[in-house]
Copies of this chain bind each other. A is one copy, B any other.
Amino acid sequence: MKSKGSDTLMQQVVERFSDTPDPRLREIMGSLVRHLHGFIRETGLTEQEWMQGIEFLTAVGQKCDARRQEFILLSDVLGASMQVVSVQSERAPGCTESTVFGPFHVEGAPQVANGGDVANGAQGARCVVHGTVRDDAGRAVADATIDVWQSDDEGLYDVQRPGLQGAQGRGVLKSQADGSFWFRSVLPVPYPIPTDGPVGALLRASRRPCWRPAHLHFRIQAAGCETLITHVFRSGDPHIDADPVFGVRPSLIADWPASADGGHELRFDFALQRTNAAV
């Protein structure tokens, strides 16, 4: 039996994963163990602090349900979600930049025809969005599947309204032959991330701002292209430099000028990376 010094212990744990058949799982667990033990050794974590951590993580898990994903929120406020995006998108220069997925996407949102209304009852200032989907060579991408989702004028997504049945502020469009798509909706506004759970308690204890700058979520999928998950933000937003989930990239900030009818209009063009297999 080996001595149980801190370093020896860490190596022992890494070695215990050496029979893992999946080499990627083995690599991930080895790195995780080294960083987890490094954190404990660097901070000299006490048993009381460890127990507070256990209780915090348990509370995060127990806050999750079909409409609430507190672990994604935790990952978001720790910048981990954006770090995953950054690590990946370093491999995809020249295309529209990605940002965090966030906890509010719902699969199976209603199909919306071009020109249709995504708000579907969500309240807010009128807004029209025109976009195009192209590939990394500038060619139009037809028949792309475009998920959009957004908050209403109170900064709430439909899933945050307990009594609400059916989708509001979310829909799935298809790009046309020239790559274009368009829809009507309401203007997104800044909103605080949910602070009634353990992640909110962490932000309060850290005196961290919790307001996200206004944004519209997109997920764009097309045959032969890498899926793009991103937001479009509004220029001049007062929270643009303090996004609690670190999702803002300069290339994703756009003007949403006032339109003749008193609403707003956004025009944004997306460039998808071709997958290697399809090129």
Chain A residues with CB under 8 Å of chain B are 1, 4-6, 9-10, 12-13, 16-17, 19-22, 24-29, 31-33, 35-47, 49-50, 54, 57-62, 64, 69, 71-72, 75, 78-88, 90, 101, 205-208, 229, 240-241, 244, 246, 248-250
Choose one: B1, B61, B86, B208; the contact of A19 (CB below 8 Å): B208
Q: How far is the CB of A70 from chain B (nearest CB, A)?
A: 8
Instruction: List B contacts of A32 (CB < 8 A).
Output: 39, 78
Q: How far is the CB of A110 from chain B (nearest CB, A)?
A: 24
Interface centre among A36, A59, A80, A250 (most CB of B within 10 A): A80
**Once bound together, how far apart are the Cα atoms of A90 and B32, in whole Å?**
23
24 residue pairs bridging A and B, Cβ less than 8 Å apart: A1-B240, A1-B241, A4-B82, A6-B87, A6-B90, A9-B86, A13-B246, A17-B208, A20-B206, A26-B206, A29-B206, A31-B39, A31-B43, A35-B42, A36-B78, A44-B87, A45-B84, A47-B84, A47-B101, A50-B80, A50-B81, A54-B69, A61-B62, A61-B71
Q: How far is the CB of A35 from chain B (nearest CB, A)?
A: 4
The answer on a CB contact under 8 Å between A206 and B248 is no
The answer on a CB contact under 8 Å between B17 and A206 is yes
The answer on a CB contact under 8 Å between B33 and A78 is yes
Q: Which residue of B lies closest to A205 (CB)?
A: B25
Instruction: List B contacts of A45 (CB < 8 A).
Output: 28, 84, 87
The answer on a CB contact under 8 Å between B249 and A4 is yes
Choose one: B38, B44, B82, B205; the contact of A9 (CB below 8 Å): B82
- Known contacts A33-B79, A35-B36, A39-B32; is-contact A57 B71 (Cβ 8 Å): yes
Q: Which residue of B lies closest to A86 (CB)?
A: B6
The answer on a CB contact under 8 Å between B58 and A20 is no
The answer on a CB contact under 8 Å between A46 and B86 is no
Q: How far is the CB of A221 from chain B (nearest CB, A)?
A: 13
- Known contacts A37-B79, A64-B62, A208-B17; is-contact A86 B28 (Cβ 8 Å): no
**Once bound together, how far apart are the Cα atoms of A241 and B241, in whole Å?**
53
The answer on a CB contact under 8 Å between A61 and B57 is yes
The answer on a CB contact under 8 Å between A54 and B71 is yes
Choose one: B25, B27, B61; the contact of A64 (CB below 8 Å): B61
Interface centre among A4, A28, A29, A37 (most CB of B within 10 A): A4
